[in-house]
Amino acid sequence: MDRRTFITLTGAVAMTAPLMAREAFSSPVSGTGSAPVDDPRYKELLAAAHKAKKNAYSKYSNFQVGAAILAKDGATITGCNVENASYGLTMCAERTAIFKAVSMGYKPGDFTAIAIAASADNFSPCGACRQVINEFGNEMTVIFEFGGKVVITPLAELLPYTFKL
């Protein structure tokens, strides 16, 4: 007999759908919870991520990624992916940006948002980077482009049930 209990995350589903369906920065969607989709700084942040993407060192995958973090003090800290001949040593753009910011003195809770841009139409941050971003701000807004849309979502939507110590 199957004793597993199945639960439906209705709240999460209802929240994710309208965020995904929005045209790129065209009109803010109401009722989207903690992510203010119409924040004009997000457009600039995504532009900074695209700029950072140009610095990607990605000779093995030829896949370029740039990330830009908006700190609460107004600063923007960027990063790109950095690959290595020993593939597993590769560092993603998001983690490059986070580690750079931390090495500059920023602490958990100091960040508002992170935008990520990649050389592909469908991109979303990898699981490892979601976990690393989570370490420094579960309430952060994450911005990326997927299927011709700009997705603006709280990290908590991308990484529910986070691992914590």
Minimum gap (Å) between residue 65 Cβ and ligand THU: 3
Q: Please say whether the beta carbons of 89 and 61 come within 8 A.
A: no
Active-site option among 83, 94, 145, 157 = 94
Residue 96 or 112 with smaller CB distance to ligand THU: 96
Instruction: Supply the minimum distance, in Å, between the C-beta of residue 47 and ligand THU.
Output: 18
Decide whether 90 or 138 has the Cβ nearer to ligand THU: 90
Query: Rounded to the nearest whole angstrom, what is the least distance from the CB of residue 137 to ligand THU in the complex?
Result: 17
Assess contact for 115 and 48: CB atoms under 8 A: yes
Q: Which residues bind ligand THU (CB under 6 A)?
A: 58, 61, 63, 65, 81, 83, 90, 92-94, 125-126, 129
Q: Which is nearer to ligand THU, 16 or 90 (CB)?
A: 90
The first and second tokens of residue 154, run together, are 């709280």
CB nearer ligand THU, residue 9 or residue 57: 57
DSSP 100-145: HHHHTT--TT-EEEEEEEESSSB----HHHHHHHHHH-TT-EEEEE
Q: How many CB atoms lie within 10 A of CB 80?
A: 24
Dist CA 98 CA 67 (whole Å): 9
Q: How far is the CB of 7 from ligand THU (least distance, A)?
A: 28
Kindly state the helix (H) or strand (E) to which residue 146 belongs, with its residue range: strand 141-146
157 is catalytic: no
Q: Name the residues annotated as catalytic.
A: 94
